[in-house]
Amino acid sequence: MKTLTEKSTYQDLLSAWKEVNDYGERAANAKAVKDALKKSNVTYRRVNTPAKHRAFYIIIKTKKRMYHMPFLIVEGSEGDSFVALEDETVSHCLTVLHSHAIRRYIERRGWKGTVEQCEEYLLDAMWVTARNRDKYTKEITVYFDNGVFLGCEKDGISHLNTYVSNNRLYTNQRLMSRKLQDNYEKLLKEI
């Protein structure tokens, strides 16, 4: 099996992500997960799939059932990068949260925990975000925690390459961050 990286092709990442997704129910039904869910409604699980893809799952227990949110873990320039499928219904939009972006978030937000705890926090909290994609340049801006993840879309993959806090943004970037923050807060009120 060839090693997948944050720069792998769309087809390779999508194929591996689908395998990770298909394995999610088995990973969620593991004894360790069931024991963890007795103490909390949310747990995180890192496993290898039968095809040896590294996977990360956020597993949530509600009164009626369990849900799992799958991520494919791939090699990044500074550690683990995470691949998610954003929209399964219309087009298969893959997003890669690059390891460099995770490290910049840790550095620029003054994260006090471990890298693994930060990865869990980011992946858990980023399910509801406000995003802008410039239709001409394909630059992507995602508002998050008083700053933005910046990146671009290339070959059908949204790459979130770095994180910049609001106080370090250029004027036009700060205006976009503020607009996205307003959209995010409005969305949370509607939910």
Q: How much is the average pLDDT of 61-74?
A: 92
Structure token digits, residue 115: 């890298």
Question: Could you tell me which of 158, 124, 159 has the C-alpha nearest to residue 144?
Answer: 124
Total-model pTM = 0.91
> For residue 191, is pLDDT > 80?
no
What DSSP letter does each residue of 58-82 carry, written as one string?
A: EEEE-SS-EEEEEEEEEEETTEEEE
Cα distance between residue 181 and residue 146, in whole Å: 8
Alpha-carbon distances, residue 189 vs 89, 113, 128, 182 (angstroms): 25, 29, 12, 11
Q: How much is the average pLDDT of 76-84?
A: 97
Q: How much is the average pLDDT of 78-94?
A: 81
> For residue 90, is pLDDT > 60?
no
- The CA-CA-CA angle for residues 8, 20, 128, to 5°, reads 85
Query: pLDDT category, 91, cuts 50, 70, 90?
Result: low
Structure token digits, residue 11: 């087809």
Cα distance between residue 59 and residue 143, in whole Å: 24
Cα distance between residue 160 and residue 30, in whole Å: 31
> For residue 104, is pLDDT > 60?
yes
What local confidence, expressed as pLDDT, does residue 89 receive? 53
Q: How much is the average pLDDT of 70-90?
A: 88
Q: What b-and-e string marks burial along 83-97, b requiring 16 or more CB atoms within 10 Å of the CB?
A: bbbeeeeeeeebbbb
**Which of the given ranges, 64-73, 110-119, 122-131, 172-181, has the highest pLDDT on average?**
110-119
> For residue 92, is pLDDT > 80?
no
Helical residues (DSSP H) of 68-151, grouped into ranges: 99-109, 115-125
**Helices 99-109 & 115-125, crossing angle to 10 degrees?**
100
pLDDT > 90: what percent of the chain? Answer: 69
